[in-house]
Amino acid sequence: MQTELSKKLGIEHAIFGFTPFPAVAAAISRAGGFGVLGAVRYTAPDDLARDLDWMQEHVDGAPYGLDVVMPAKKVEGPNHQKLTESDVEAMIPEGHRQFVRDTLAKHGVPELAEGEASGWRITGWMEQVARSQLDVAFDYPIKLLANALGSPPADVVRRAHDHDVLVAALAGSARHARKHADAGIDIVVAQGYEAGGHTGEIASMVLTPEAVDAVAPLPVLAAGGIGSGEQIAAALALGAQGVWLGSLWLTTTEADLHSRALTAKLLAAGSGDTVRSRALTGKPARQLRTEWTDAWDDPSGPGTLPMPLQGLLVAEAVSRIQKYEVDPLLGTPVGQIVGRMTSERPVQAVFDDLTRGFERAVDRINRIAGRSGQS
């Protein structure tokens, strides 16, 4: 599963695995792929440094990267004043706060213990937090910096290149891909409608070749709806130089969801059990459909707020739902590929399955083309 990009990065398989869990990212790199650690949950630089230290010790010298979230548009005060988290939280309307309280009360969600801080904060969506993460990350030998919400600011791209770090940006359309190329991005991740998390409205089968044509010769990674070796072969046939997989790792044994109930929901879900909703962050993000997403998407409700207000608004609520495993409301970002995630397996077992499926697909195409035995 070698491409020009995988050879450049020194990895065996052109599989890039995004995950919020250091143990999963390290296992992906050890298995011959490229582990990418999601940084959004790290609100304290020391916590990120601790986990990057751990990864350095557990990747066996294999390369890895970091994914940050730097929105193209940010909330600012008068005269472009930078706002603190408290400033931004003060902008949340009381009606929205009451809607959260009412929804939680309807389902009997207990309060957090007195003095207990929310375990799920989304301050990582704020640019100043992402910049503090970069101050830590560039002290480590990361080989890739990805931004989940498009091209990072120009000074961040320059800083990454000064550290010999490639920059990747996710794109939901060919137009977005061209903007990334113009911004000096090294790799475009063409993320289709099927993908988990923030995603656009164009399906992977359409988007991938459009992005490839739009930014050639820049490498493109295909993302969204990919969970088998056959699908990886299809992505490479469409011109991608690799695949970007995220959802598939959520049910690996190395993942740490802290919730058996959530793992059970993922294993039981079908490909039709997700929805693109603004309920979590304020931007459309594919996630498990729950009574929580239904409440926010109901036209009779107050509607969601823009990023990062929505994330700050629901942070404590999400922590309470997760802590007490309130099943009707319990969810997570995940793509339509969740229908293939039917058992818990180690990362290495997932890789073995992917490579076998890839070989089967290549052999099948060779037979169709009359080149049997040449795979």
Q: pLDDT by residue (tens digit) across 33-80?
A: 999 999 988 888 999 999 999 999 999 999 999 999 886 555 555 555
The yes-or-no verdict on residue 118 having pLDDT over 70 is: no
Structure tokens at 123: 């301050």
Arithmetic mean of pLDDT, 181-186: 97
370 backbone φψ class: left, alpha, beta (φ>0; ψ -120 to 50):
left
The model's pTM: 0.92
Burial profile 282-302: b = 16 or more Cβ within 10 angstroms, e = fewer: bbbbbbbbbebbebbbeeebe
Backbone angles phi, psi at 314, to 5 degrees: -95, 0
Split at pLDDT 50, 70, 90, the class of 125 is low
Other CB atoms closer than 10 Å to residue 271's CB: what's the count?
15
pLDDT at 15: 98
> What tokens appear for 251 in the block?
């049910």
Q: Write a three-state SS string for 133-156.
A: HHHHHCCCCCCEEEECCCCCCHHH
Give residue 113's pLDDT.
86
Q: Which residue has the higher pLDDT, 125 or 173?
A: 173
Q: In this model, does residue 162 exceed pLDDT 60?
A: yes
What's the pLDDT score for residue 358? 98
**What is the pLDDT of the chain when averaged over all its residues?**
92
- Radius of gyration of the CA atoms of the chain, in A: 20
pLDDT at position 131 over 60: yes
- Residue 348's pLDDT band, with cuts at 50, 70 and 90, is very high
Alpha helices in 138-259 (DSSP H): 154-162, 174-182, 204-215, 229-237
Judge contact between 208 and 190, C-beta under 8 A.
yes
The mean pLDDT value for 307-318 works out to 90
Position 74 scores a pLDDT of 55
Peptide bond into 63 cis (omega under 30): no
What's the length of the chain? 375
Q: Is the peptide bond before 284 cis (omega within 30 degrees of 0)?
A: no
Q: Give residue 10's pLDDT.
A: 97
> Confidence class of residue 375 from pLDDT cuts 50, 70 and 90?
very low
